[in-house]
Amino acid sequence: MALGLVALRQATAASREAAMSGSPVGYLLRAEHALQPVSLLERFPRALARISGSAL
4-51 pLDDT, tens per residue? 788 888 999 888 888 888 888 888 988 998 899 888 888 888 888 888
* Domains of the chain by residue range: 2-52
**pTM, 2 dp:** 0.43
Label residue 55 by pLDDT band (50, 70, 90): low
Residue 55 CA: distances (Å) to CA of 22, 24, 25: 23, 25, 24
Radius of gyration of the chain (CA): 14
CA distances from 54 to 11, 15, 31, 35 (A): 14, 18, 23, 24
